[in-house]
Amino acid sequence: MIREAERATATTTAGVTDEGAVRSSGARSTLERDRRRLFLPFVLPALVLYLVFFIGPALAAVWISFTRWNGSTDAEWVGTRNYEVLVDDPVFHTAFVNTLLILVVVGVVVFVIAFGLTMVLREMRGRNAVRSILFTPYMVSAIVLSILWGFIFQYDGLVNSLLEAFGMEPVKWLSAGNLMPMILLGMVWINVGLYAMIILAAVDRIPNQYYEDAALAGTNSLQRFFYVTLPMTWDVVAVAATLWTINSLKIFEFIFAFGGTTTDLPSTDVWNSALFVYGMSFGGRTPAYAFGYASAAAVLMLILFAVFVILLRRIMRREPIEF
């Protein structure tokens, strides 16, 4: 019905006068011509920058990944050798597993806490102040946070001083075995505020009558979450999940500064994919300068994560609910 009405309106408008139509068409074509003329000057600067600083280097990285190149002499073509070695590399395996741990474990914990906070904060007084506090860790530089965490959790740091004050034994929070769990905890702490904010913004859009209706129907808060909050924020959650997937691949500074020192890289036991690429190229007191191998790792991880994002988008695809 709507389409028929639109068609009828369009026909009537077009048939008012031919003169009007011609005038209108002439105006449109002048406008179109002007717009076309301006298209290139407006787009070109951004396009050039994008090509030179993003697409160009990305394509170059793909090419470099098929070479042995130390950054300053001629690159030697080695075909798929870098990739063949990479799939057997135990350090790359560790980096890949750690990247997945950050993606999955930190991701799940962040989203569970973020949803938990939305349930608490939705009806809480002073929630804007709480939001700001939650968001603070995300605003502070990851390097500053990692140094702060180092001071707090090291053997004679604040946390162990408190434990000792209560007569407890100090804990080796930063020992080799505990370092990766501490990094995961740090990632949760830094990121939960951002994702709680995003989800809270989506929850704020939901008209209150749905919650009132659900409450009248006798639902508890968990049921309201599953039958009102989750379905009505699903599209935002899907975008946030994609955002987290991409961000988790790029995490670098916190692990670098928390696990390492000013000059030395952290142990390979806590490397993720970004640390692996850095460690094989510019990282460390005496860098490896293995740019071909590092590029192969970057390209491989990019492909794996692109596949993951596509799958995630497919799994999370739902018809958005309009309200």
Partner 1 sequence: MRLPTLRRAVAVAAATLLTASGLAACGGDDDAALPASEQKEFVYWSMWQESEPVAKVIKAAIASFEDETGIKVDVQWQGREVLTKVKAALNTDDVPDLVDQGFPAIKAALGLDDQAMDLSSVYDMDVSGEAGRTVRDAVPEAYDELNTAESLILVPYYVSAFSIWYSGRDYPELVDSPPETWSDFTALFDQVKANGQAPIAQDADLLSYDSALVDAALVRTLGVGNLHALVSDESAEGWDAPEVHEALDAIAQLAVDDDYLPGYDSSKWPAMEKAWAADKAAFLHMGSWVPYALGPELDKDYDLHTFNFPTFGEESAVPVTTYGYAVPSAAEAPDAAKKFIAYFLGSKWLTKLSTDAEILTPDPNIDVPKILEDQQAMLADNDLYLADDGIVADFPDLTTRLASLNQGLITGELSADEYVDKAKEVQEQYWKLNG
x-or-dash string of contact with partner 1, 195-234, rule CB under 8 A = ----------------------------------------
- Rounded to whole angstroms, how far apart are CA atoms 320 and 21? 39
Residues in the chain, how many? Answer: 323
Q: If phi over 0 gives left and psi between -120 and 50 gives alpha, with beta otherwise, what is residue 71?
A: left
Choose the stretch contacting partner 1; rule: CB under 8 A; options: 18-26, 53-61, 104-112, 137-145.
Answer: 53-61
Q: Which of helix, strand or coil describes residue 198? A: helix
Rounded to 5 degrees, what are φ and ψ at 67? -130, 170
Q: Quick one: 47 or 303, whose CB is closer to partner 1?
A: 47
Strands (DSSP E) along the chain, which ranges? 67-68, 76-77
Write down the H helix ranges in 122-271. 127-139, 142-153, 158-165, 176-204, 208-216, 221-224, 230-250, 253-259
x-or-dash string of contact with partner 1, 264-303, rule CB under 8 A = xxxxxx---------xx-xxxxxxxxx--x----------
Size of the site for partner 1 (CB under 8 A): 59
Q: Quick one: 82 or 233, whose CB is closer to partner 1?
A: 82
CB of 136 to partner 1, least distance (A): 23
Greatest C-alpha distance within the chain: 93
Q: Please report where in the chains the tokens 């739902």 appear, as a residue.
A: 318
Q: Does residue 261 touch partner 1 according to CB under 8 A?
A: yes
Which parts of 234-253 interact with partner 1 (CB under 8 A)?
Answer: none
Binding residues for partner 1, rule: CB under 8 A, are 36, 39-40, 43-44, 47-48, 51-52, 55-56, 59-60, 70-73, 81-82, 85, 88-91, 150-151, 154-156, 170, 172-178, 259-261, 263-269, 279-280, 282-290, 293
